[in-house]
Structure 1
Amino acid sequence: MKRIRRRVNKQTAIDFAVYLLVRTLFAVIQTLSVQRMQPVCNGLAYLVSDVLQLRRRIIDTNLRIASPNASDQQINETRRQMWAHLVMMACEIAWSRRRLHLSNWRQMLDFPTSGIFLRPFLEGRPMVLVSGHYGNFEIGGYATGLFGIPTMTVARPLDNRFLHRYITQFRGMHGQMLVDKEGSADIIQQHLESNGTLSLVADQFAGARGCWVNFFGKPTSCHKALALFTLANDAPMAVFYSRRTTGPMQFEIGCNGVADPREAGPELGGVTELTCWYNERLEKAIALSPEQYWWMHRRWRDVPEKIQRRMDRMAAKQAA
C-alpha cells in the first residue's frame, strides 16, 4: 500500500510540474508578438520534423495515402509545415483569451458561410457540428461560444488532471461544455432533446466494429454514433472547420455543407451514407490547407477481411 501511495504521489508531482511548465510557456507566449513567434515555430518544426523525426514514418505514410502523386520534396515540406502549424496552434490558443473578443473578432475571423451555418440555430433546433483535427479547431470552438452558441463537446479526459482542468476552463469560458466520452449517452441525448448543439471531432479511428468508409480513397473506421445523433434527433449535421488563412490569428470559420433530416437527401439514407457524406466534406476542407491537418494520427489501420470484401462488393455495384 505504501509503495502504491508513493507511486501515486510521484505521478502527481510529475503531472503538476508539467502543468507548471505549460502555464509558464503560455505566460511567456502571451507576452510575445506574432512576428517574434513565427520564426520560433518554424525552427521548432524543423527540429521535430527533420532532426528528431518524430512520428515521421506514420506522417509520411498518411501523406502518401492522401497525395499519392506527391514528390518526396512535397511530402517533406508538408510534414515540416504541419509541425509549424501545430506549434503556432498552441500559441494561438494562448493568445486567444487576451486578444480575441466580441469587440474585435472581425479583425481575426472571416465567416463566409454564416448563412448556411446559422440557419438551424435561428430555427431553435438541435444541431451536430462535425469537425476534424484540422486547422485550429480549438479556436473554432472558442469562436462559436463567443458568438453566443454554447456547445457540448465529447472527449476523453487528459491523463494529467491539472492540464485537463485548465483546458476545460478555457473551453468553458464562453459556454463550451466538455463531457467524458465514457457513459455520456444519456447526457448527450438530454442535450439534443433540449435543442442543444453537439460538437464532435469526427476523424478518430473507431475500431473493427465501426462504420467503414473511404477517407482519401482508403477505408477507415468511423464512430456510428455521429450519424445516429443526426438521424435519431432531427438534428442537422454541419461539417465545420476553422483554418488559418493569411497568417497567425487569422481564421476562416467555414461550413462545408449541412445535412438536414427534414430535406431527406441521399446522404440521409442511413448511417453509412451520412458517414460517407461528412468524410467527403472533411476531405474537401483539408484539401484547402493540407499542412494544417494532423497527419501523425493513425487514421488508417488494417481492414478486416470481411469488411474489405463487403466494400469491394459495394464499389463494384456502384461502378456497374
Structure 2
Amino acid sequence: MPPILKSAVDYAAYLALRGSIALVQALPLRVCERGVEGLAWLMHDVLRMRRGVVEENLQIAFPDWSAAQREQANRKMWRHLFLMVAEIAHTPRKVHRTTWRDWIELERDDLILQTMLSEGPKVVISAHYGNFELGGYVLGVFGLPTHTIARTLDNAYVDRYVNEFRGRTGQFILPKTGSREDVERVLSSGGVLTLLGDQHAGPKGCWVDFFGKPASTHKAVSLFTLSYEAPTVVVGVQRRGDAALRYRITGIDSIDPRAEGFALGTTPLLTEWFTRRLEEVIRREPTQYWWVHRRWKGEPPVRRKPKPQVA
C-alpha cells in the first residue's frame, strides 16, 4: 500500500476510534455494563472469534473443566475485555488522587510500596490479566512514575493516542524494539520498569511450566532483575465482581536480589518464580485472563547431550 494511502487509512481508523471512545465516555458506566453483554454474545456466539484458541488454552489450563464450564468462561472473558475498554475510556475522568478510593482497593500494598520506594532500580511484573492498563495508571496517580515496555502499534495515530492516555499520570512507554539504551538509562537512574511476564518468546526463550505445560518466556524479564539487582514485585489488578471500574490491586509476592541468601539467582529459577505467582493470581478469576492469545506455542528445544570424550 502506498504510504500516502496507508496514512489516510490509518487516520480514518484513528478518527473512528476517537469517535467510538467519545460515545463510550458519553454513556454512564451502567449502560456500558449492559452493552458489553451484547458484544460478548456477538463475539462468542455469532462471530465465534478465536473460539478454537480460547478452547484449546482453557483445556490446557483447566483439564478438569467440563465443556459447559469452558463455554461459560469464554463468554465471560469477552465481557471482561469489552468492559475493560469502556473502563479505560472513563478512567481519566473518574480516577484521580482524590477519588481513587471510590474505585480501587489495595491488598498487600506493603509489598508494592516496599519495592517501589526502595533505593536503586525496581521492576514490576504483571500479566494480561484484569485491567493491567489501570494498574500502571493508578501507580502514576500515587506519584510513582513507571516505564513500560510495549509493542509499537502499526497505526502511528492510534499508538500516539494510546500512549498519551498511559502517560497522563506518569506511565512512560518504551518501544519493545530498539529501547535497550532507554531501559539501561531508566534502571541505572533508579527508575521503575514494568513488564508483562506472560508473553511468548519463541524457541530461544526460557521454558518453564505455566498451568502444567512448558511455555516460552522472555529471558529479559528476569535479566533486568538479576543484572541490576533490582527489587521486584509481582502485581495483579483484578476486577471485584461484575461492576465496571471496581478493582483490587494486589501485591502478590516480592523479592530482593540484594538480600542475603537470595536463592533465585538464575534466569530459569527467577522466571519460574514469577510465572508461578502469575498463575496463582489468574486462578483467582480465570475469566479475566486474555485466553485469546496463544501462550503455548511449539515445544521446548531438545538439548543435545555432550559427546563423551575419548581418552
The 1-side partners of 2:61 and 2:258 are apart by: 33
1:298 maps to 294
2:43 to 37, 48, 53: 48
CA shift, 1:264, in A, is 4.9
Q: CA deviation at 1:281?
A: 0.4
Measure how far apart 1:63 and its partner are.
Answer: 0.6
CA contact (8 A) 1:259 1:265 kept: no
Q: Pick the aligned partner of 2:201 from 203, 206, 217.
A: 206
Counterpart of 1:16 in structure 2 is: 11
Is the 1:240–1:254 Cα contact (8 Å) retained in structure 2? yes
CA distance in 1, matches of 2:248, 2:29: 18
Q: Deviations over 1:138-184 (max 9, x none)?
A: 10010011101111111111000010000111111111111112121
Q: Secondary structure at the match of 2:237?
A: strand
For the Cα contact (< 8 Å) 2:120–2:190, is it kept in 1?
yes
| In structure 1, distance between residues paired with 2:25 and 2:165 | 15
Following superposition of structure 1 onto structure 2, how do residues 1-320 of structure 1 map, counting pairs within 5 Å? 7-246=2-241, 247-264=243-260, 268-306=264-302
**Structure 2 gaps, min length 5:** 306-311
2:167 is paired with a residue whose SS is helix
C-alpha separation in 1, matches of 2:43 and 2:260? 47
Q: 1:150 to 1:71 in 2, by over 3 A?
A: same
Shift of 1:259: 1.5
When structure 1 is superposed on structure 2, of 242-251 and 204-213 the one drifting more is 242-251
Asked whether the 8 Å contact 1:155–1:179 carries over to 2, the reply is yes
Aligned to 2:308: none
TM-score of the two chains, using structure 2 as the length reference: 0.94
Q: What stretches of structure 1 move > 4 A for 4+ residues in a row?
A: 264-267
Read off the aligned partner of 1:273 and give its amino acid letter: L
Q: Is contact 1:266–1:273 with CA below 8 Å preserved after alignment? A: no
Query: What is the alpha-carbon distance in structure 1 between the residues aligned to residue 114 and residue 91 of structure 2?
Result: 27
Q: Describe the shift of the 1:267–1:68 C-alpha distance in structure 2 as closer, same or farther (beyond 3 A).
A: farther
Q: Distance in 2 between matches of 1:75 and 1:126?
A: 41
**Unaligned stretches of 5+ in structure 1?**
311-320
The 3-state SS of whatever aligns with 1:212 is strand
Task: Confirm or deny: 8 A CA contact 2:122 2:232 kept in the other structure.
Answer: yes
Q: 2:107 is paired with a residue of what secondary structure? A: coil
Tell me how far apart the structure 1 counterparts of residues 85 and 15 of structure 2 sit (CA, whole Å): 16
Counterpart residue type for residue 224 of structure 1: K
Distance 1:284 1:65 in 2: 15
Asked if structure 2 preserves the Cα contact closer than 8 Å seen for 1:59 and 1:79, the reply is: yes
Residue of structure 1 in register with 2:309 after alignment: none
1:261 & 1:295 partners in 2: Cα distance? Answer: 32
**Larger % of helix: which?**
1
Structure 2 distance, partners of 1:146, 1:195, is 19
How far did 1:208 drift? Answer: 0.6
- What RMSD in Å do the two structures reach over aligned CA positions? 1.5
Q: Report Cα offsets for 1:271-302 as digits up to 9, x if no partner.
A: 00000000000001101111000001111011
**Which residue does the alignment assign to 1:314?**
none
For 2:115 and 2:300, locate their aligned partners in 1 and report how far apart those are by CA, in whole Å: 38
State the alpha-carbon separation in 1 of the partners of residues 249 and 103 from structure 2: 10
Comparing 233-242 and 142-151, the one that deviates more: 233-242
1:305, CA displacement in angstroms?
A: 4.7
SS of the residue aligned with 2:120?
coil
1-structure distance, mates of 2:112, 2:198: 21
Q: Distance in 2 between the 1:267 and 1:261 partners? A: 8
Offset at residue 304 of structure 1 (A) = 3.9
Say if 2:105 and 2:248, in contact at 8 Å, map to a contact too: yes
Shift of 1:124: 2.7
> What percent of counterpart residues are identical?
42
Alignment partner of 2:36: what SS?
helix
Secondary structure, counterpart of 1:268 in structure 2? coil
Alpha-carbon offset, residue 265 of structure 1: 5.8
The 3 A distance-change label for structure 1 pair 220 and 244 is same
CA shift at 1:220, angstroms? 0.7
Residue 26 of structure 2 aligns with an amino acid whose one-letter code is T
